[in-house]
Each structure stands twice: as C-alpha cells, then as structure tokens.
Amino acid sequence: MTGFVRKLVRAEDVLFRIEKTVEIILIIVMTLVTTAQMISRYVFGVSLLVGIDELINWTFVWMVFIGMGMLVRQGGHIGLEVIFNSMPGLLQKIRVLIVDVGMIVMAVILIKNSIPFLKSQMAITTTSANIPKAYLYAAIPVGMALLAFHLIVQIGKICFGTGDAQKDQ
C-alpha cells in the first residue's frame, strides 16, 4: 500500500470513529426523546415540547446520511452478492471500481445541486422550532461528502492495497 493510501486509511479510521460516536449520540437522543414524548402524550396527555417531532425526524435524517459512508467502509450496501461472488477476482475488482466511481459521481452531483438548495432554505423555518430548514438539508452534502471519502479510500485500497477493500479494513 502506498504512503498516500496508508494516510487515507488512517484518516478514514479517525473519521469512522467520529461517525460512530455521532451515530450513537443521535440514536440515544432519538430514543430518549421518542420515549419521553410517548410517555408525555399517552400517560400525561400533553405534548412534551414544541418541536420534538421535528427533532426526531432530523436525527433520523442525519443518521441515514452519515451512515451511508459507514456502510461503504463495512461493505454493507445491498448488492447482488450471489452473482458477483461467483465472478473471478479481477472482474470483482473491476465491478467494485465501476460501482464506486459511479457512486462518487452521484455524490458530487448531489453535493453540487444541494448547495443552491441549502441557500434557498435558509429563509424557510420549521413549523414548530422555527429553525432554518437548511440545517436539516445540510445532511445531504455532508452525507455525500462522507460517502465519497469512504469510496475514494476503498478505491485506493483496491488499486494500491492488497486488492481487496474488505480485507484491508
């Protein structure tokens, strides 16, 4: 593995730990807030706080977009594994490279198109919490950038590492 790829892998390890920590925090917040809201509504008959439902939605959206890149690193995205695993090793690598490059192109397109959209959403606020919706939609470029980074590292592992991105993890 080249020095540059080794540095990318180390950076990905740090980023992955940060992503896992953020995911854990988000799922804890979502679980606690949902539980508190349910108890408040169904036991006491009142809504706990204004904007709680929005907070639950926001944590879920951010969890999904952050989790996309994490799944790339873990090889967890859905694929036709039965067909692909029967391919010879070189064809498998080529297939992974084609899919990864395609996903990077998609991520770049989404990032590029989400920026003007985010700017337009700064003036629009949520119904209950009165927070700009741009903060919710910021999950799109952030998640796509994380996804692209993990894909680039995976390509580096395949091209310059042992040849198998999953074994290099």
Tokens of 94: 């080529």
**% of the chain with per-residue pLDDT over 70:** 89
Which residue, chain included where needed, has tokens 């896992």? 20
pLDDT digits (tens, 9 = 90+) for 98-144: 989 999 999 999 999 999 999 999 999 988 878 899 999 999 999 99
Residue with tokens 């995911």: 23
pLDDT in tens, 38-75: 888 888 888 767 778 888 899 999 999 999 989 988 87
CA distance linking residue 143 with residue 65, whole number of Å:
4
| 168 pLDDT more than 50 | no
Q: What is the mean pLDDT of the chain?
A: 87
Q: Are 4 and 153 in contact, with CB atoms under 8 Å apart?
A: no
The reported pTM is: 0.84
For range 66-85, the mean pLDDT: 78
Q: How many CA atoms lie within 13 A of 109 on its CB side?
A: 6
Q: What are phi and psi of 125, to 5 degrees?
A: -110, 160
For residue 41, what are the contacts with CB-CB under 8 A and spacing of at least 6? Answer: 47, 48
Residues sharing a CB contact under 8 Å with residue 77, sequence separation 6 or more, in sequence order: 71
Dihedral angle over CA of 62, 63, 67, 69, nearest 10 = 10
Label residue 161 exposed, middle or buried (CB < 10 Å: 0-12, 13-18, 19+).
Answer: buried
pLDDT digits (tens, 9 = 90+) for 22-39: 999 999 999 999 998 888
DSSP string of 14-80, one letter each residue: HHHHHHHHHHHHHHHHHHHHHHHHHHHHHHHSS-SSTTHHHHHHHHHHHHHHHHHHHHHHHT-S---
